[in-house]
Structure 1
Amino acid sequence: MPDQPFTHEDLKRILREGAGADESAELDGDILDVEFAALGFESLAMLETGSRIEREYDITLVDDALSVTQTPRALIELVNAQLGALRGR
């Protein structure tokens, strides 16, 4: 488990690597509050993103986490809450 918080840059990297977003995907602007669907990420891509986050950060996201967290900001906050809970043990 990394000691650093999960960041916007981490999410962009994982989306590009795992969800099939190519370098032309518009992930560099102010996208924190834009819904993943509007960014072109469908449910299958988000499942892969969630799986990669779980493996890389050694956390378990709740079953409906990716349907509830519809924006990058919400997903980043959820991951950081999970990381914080693990560090607090």
Structure 2
Amino acid sequence: MSTTAFTLSELKRILLEAAGTDEEADLDGDILDTDFGDLGYESLALLETAGRIEREYGISLDEDAFGEARTPRALIDLVTAHLPATHAA
């Protein structure tokens, strides 16, 4: 289980581990409010990403809430809301 806050850097790492990257995607740009579909990540890649986040951070994400998190910012906020207070600092 991770002992750090969930950041954009952590999300990028997990996305790359879970599903790699589309040649067109630029994860180094300003992606916080870019739809995952526009970044080349579809539902299967995001499900794998969710599973990795849950295992690494020891949390359980609501399936509906996860489905509504269509941008990195929304997903980071969702994960952060589920982290124990000691991790969300």
Do both share a fold (TM > 0.5)? yes
Indicate the percent of aligned positions where both proteins have the same amino acid: 60
- Letter of the 2:56 partner, please give it: E
* Distance change (3 Å), C-alpha of 1:78 and 1:52: same
Partners of 2:28 and 2:53 in 1: CA distance: 20
CA RMSD of aligned residues (A): 2.0
Partners of 2:70 and 2:55 in 1: CA distance: 21
Structure 2: gaps of 5 or more residues: none
| Equivalent position SS for 2:74 | helix
* Distance change (3 Å), C-alpha of 1:23 and 1:2: farther
The structure with the greater share of residues assigned to helix is 1
Aligned-residue offset at 1:55? 0.4
Is 1:65 the equivalent of 2:65?
yes
Aligned-residue offset at 1:24? 7.2
Structure 1: gaps of 5 or more residues: none
> Corresponding residue for 2:15?
15
Partners of 1:22 and 1:37 in 2: CA distance: 11
Q: How many residues align?
A: 87
> Corresponding residue for 1:53?
53
Aligned-residue offset at 1:64? 1.5
Moved segments of 4+, more than 3 Å: 22-25, 84-87
| Equivalent position SS for 2:44 | helix
* Distance change (3 Å), C-alpha of 1:16 and 1:24: farther
Is 1:36 the equivalent of 2:30?
no
TM-score norm. by structure 2 comes to: 0.86
The answer on whether the counterparts of 1:18 and 1:45 sit within 8 Å (CA) in structure 2 is yes
